[in-house]
């Protein structure tokens, strides 16, 4: 004689509380796309603004809008000429320190 006990039926179903990662990936991609578009718009705006500034400098009178003075330019060229001469002197002269390992 066998005794039969009633067995509980196992009910398997998906839980209702879970995170959908697709929504977060979509939000990340959308925010990256938005930042890229805003960066392009800002770059274009900056380019047009700088481009207009350079055009407006050429249209002004040359006497009133002199940006680089001849004296300053000559002094800068003279400075670099002296540096070139010093560098060639240093490269052409032998080293005064003797290597003790030889």
Each residue's pLDDT expressed in tens, for the chain with a length of 102 residues? 677 777 777 777 666 666 677 888 899 999 999 999 999 999 999 999 888 876 555 555 555 445 678 888 899 999 999 999 999 998 888 777 777 776
Which DSSP string do the residues of 51-90 spell out, in sequence order? HHHHHHHHHS-TTTT--S-HHHHHHHHHHHHHHHHHHHHH
Task: Write out pLDDT tens, residues 74-97.
Answer: 999 999 999 999 999 988 887 777
Instruction: Give residue 101's pLDDT.
Output: 78
**What pLDDT is attached to residue 93?**
83
């Amino acid at each position: 004689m066998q005794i039969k006990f009633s067995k509980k039926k196992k009910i398997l179903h998906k839980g209702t509380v879970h995170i959908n990662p697709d929504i977060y990936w979509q939000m990340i991609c959308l925010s990256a796309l938005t930042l890229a578009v805003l960066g392009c718009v800002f770059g274009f705006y900056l380019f047009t603004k700088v481009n207009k500034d350079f055009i407006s400098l050429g249209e002004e009178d040359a006497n009133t809008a002199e940006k680089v003075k001849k004296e300053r330019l000559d002094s800068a060229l003279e400075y670099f000429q002296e540096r070139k001469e010093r560098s060639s002197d240093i490269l052409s002269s032998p080293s005064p320190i003797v290597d003790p390992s030889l």
